[in-house]
């Protein structure tokens, strides 16, 4: 199985950085939008044996390296090792509330402490481009320790 790194992948790596850079523009430049992004890359073959290959990919922009990736590839072979967990049994995402919906629910409680209410309103004020649905949302009123594991359904809001 072969993998190819294309300009689209490089832009995918850079997209969060471009987004962050745009958010840091001064008010004077708030209506500026990224209109151009150029990526050039080259690959170098380091090692290739019968079952193992190593490649280096260097992305270059304006003559400067912006990304260097070294990837190793191994021929697929049967192995007793498993490097991932099985998917836990959890409710489907449509059956769960988003973080924002949960916060609205918590804020509707008249007994909510003022400092907690302020903290939740701060969280609600931030626009997050990712929709997060916790499988086991925290209960502010439960004084029992929770298992140190969190499960979420996550997806991008809008089109990528």
Q: What is the pLDDT of residue 15?
A: 64
- Give the pLDDT band (50/70/90) at residue 20: low
Question: Which residues face 55 on adjacent strands?
Answer: 45, 71
Q: What is the pLDDT of residue 5?
A: 46
Ranges assigned E (strand) in 2-159: 40-48, 52-61, 64-74, 130-134, 152-156
pLDDT digits (tens, 9 = 90+) for 27-77: 555 666 665 555 566 777 777 777 777 777 787 777 888 777 777 777 777
Tell me if residue 58 falls in helix, strand or coil: strand
Q: What is the pLDDT of residue 118?
A: 93
Q: Could you give the CA distance from residue 135 to residue 101 in angstroms, rounded to a whole number?
A: 13
Domain boundaries, the chain: 7-74, 93-156
User: 80 or 23: which carries more pLDDT confidence?
Assistant: 80
Q: Cα dist. 11→17, 38, 53, 128, 157 in Å?
A: 10, 9, 25, 21, 19
The pair of three-digit structure tokens given for residue 43, joined into one six-digit string: 């690959």
Q: Could you give the CA distance from residue 59 to residue 19 in angstroms, rounded to a whole number?
A: 19
- Give the pLDDT band (50/70/90) at residue 12: low
pLDDT digits (tens, 9 = 90+) for 90-145: 999 999 999 999 999 989 989 888 998 999 999 898 888 899 999 988 776 666 77
Q: What is the pLDDT of residue 97?
A: 94
């Amino acid at each position: 199985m072969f993998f190819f790194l294309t300009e689209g992948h490089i832009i995918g790596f850079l997209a969060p950085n471009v987004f962050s850079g745009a958010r840091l523009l001064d008010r004077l430049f708030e209506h500026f939008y990224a209109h151009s992004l150029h990526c050039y890359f080259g690959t170098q073959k380091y090692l290739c044996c019968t079952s193992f290959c190593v490649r280096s990919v260097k992305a270059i922009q304006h003559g400067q390296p912006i990304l260097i990736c070294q990837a190793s590839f191994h021929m697929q072979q049967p192995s007793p090792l498993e490097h991932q967990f099985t998917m836990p049994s959890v409710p489907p995402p449509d059956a769960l509330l988003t973080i924002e919906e949960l916060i609205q629910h918590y804020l509707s409680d008249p007994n909510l402490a003022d400092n907690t209410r302020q903290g939740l309103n701060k969280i609600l004020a931030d626009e997050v481009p990712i929709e997060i649905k916790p499988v086991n949302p925290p209960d502010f009123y439960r004084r029992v320790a929770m298992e140190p594991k969190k499960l979420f359904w996550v997806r991008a809001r809008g089109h990528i």
